Amino acid sequence: MNILVTNDDGINAPGIIALADALAAVGRVGVVAPDRERSAVGHALTLHHPLRATPLDNDRYAIDGTPTDCVNLGIHSLLPFKPDLVVSGINRGANLGEDITYSGTVSAALEATLMGIPAFAISLATDNGGANYAAAGAFAARLARYVQQQGLPADTFLNVNVPDLPADQLRSPLITSQGKRRYEGMIIDKVDPRGRNYYWIGTVELNFLDIPGSDYAAVSRRHISVTPLHLDLTNYASFAAIEAWNIE
């Protein structure tokens, strides 16, 4: 199996190194990742300036762009093979609930799915640097084999979150739903030494609802969470309510 590995933490992040090492036991691995941290860039695609790719070693490239850029370049230009699978991660920190809409890690897997290539994103649910990337990498390798053998449903990719625990302390994987986060909406507003205002977003501690069957509920109980995500964002259940508006 030919595997493209990417992330949003940057090509030298410990998570992507552990992931590439683990997947090397499954197939040929090519790494195309941002040259620096690109967390929370979502599904951004660079359109207004050229991208630069720095070749490193053993089919590894550092890109001055986003995770979505990396998937495009890896599939269409840089690697000497077409990937059979794209794996994004291992992200430093969980990607749970609505936070997946910001995640460059998850968006890289989404981009691969748009191109018809099976994909999953994997994150280590840690509040610090992360101590158990190897355990998460081992699960990624097992999951890659399942995807190779079984395939994925049409227009579906997986969002995986692994508790930051040694392998022997992890509980069994659960298929979960996307959870919900309680948003505080706090922004730090201060003045710099030159008298200009500046603002800092993302300073509030993450607070998720403990919904049974959700990604957060699984991870908080030491289970590995595997959430199937779908490209079709249509809310079919809302059709009747919106049609009742009788829009002209």
> What single-letter amino acid sits at 224?
I
* Buried residues in 21-56 as b, exposed as e (16+ CB within 10 A): ebbeebbbbbbbbbbeebbebbbeeeeeeeeebeee
CA-wise closest residue to 175 among 202, 135, 143, 131: 143
CA-wise closest residue to 161 among 230, 218, 231: 218
CA-wise closest residue to 213 among 238, 180, 184: 180
Residue 107 has what pLDDT? 98
Residue-range domain boundaries for the chain: 2-180+209-243
Query: What is the residue-level pLDDT of the chain in tens, covering all 248 positions?
Result: 999 999 999 999 999 999 999 999 999 999 999 999 999 999 999 999 999 999 999 899 999 999 999 999 999 999 999 999 999 999 999 999 999 999 999 999 999 999 999 999 999 999 888 999 999 999 999 999 999 999 999 999 999 999 999 999 999 999 999 999 877 667 889 999 999 999 988 656 668 999 999 999 999 999 999 999 999 999 999 999 999 999 98
| Token pair belonging to 69 | 């850029």
| Token pair belonging to 234 | 């249509």
Pairing of strands 53-55, 60-63: antiparallel
Burial degree of 2 (CB within 10 A; 0-12, 13-18, 19+): middle
Class in CATH terms, 2-180+209-243 = alpha beta
User: pTM here?
Assistant: 0.95
d(CA 39, CA 194): 29
Contacts 24+ apart (CB under 8 A), 189-195: none
Q: What does the H/E/C string look like for 116-139?
A: CCCEEEEEEECCCCCCCHHHHHHH
d(CA 78, CA 174): 35
The SS3 assignment for 83 reads coil
Element (DSSP H or E) covering residue 219: helix 215-219
Residue 75 has what pLDDT? 97
Residue 164 has what pLDDT? 97
| Token pair belonging to 147 | 């995807």
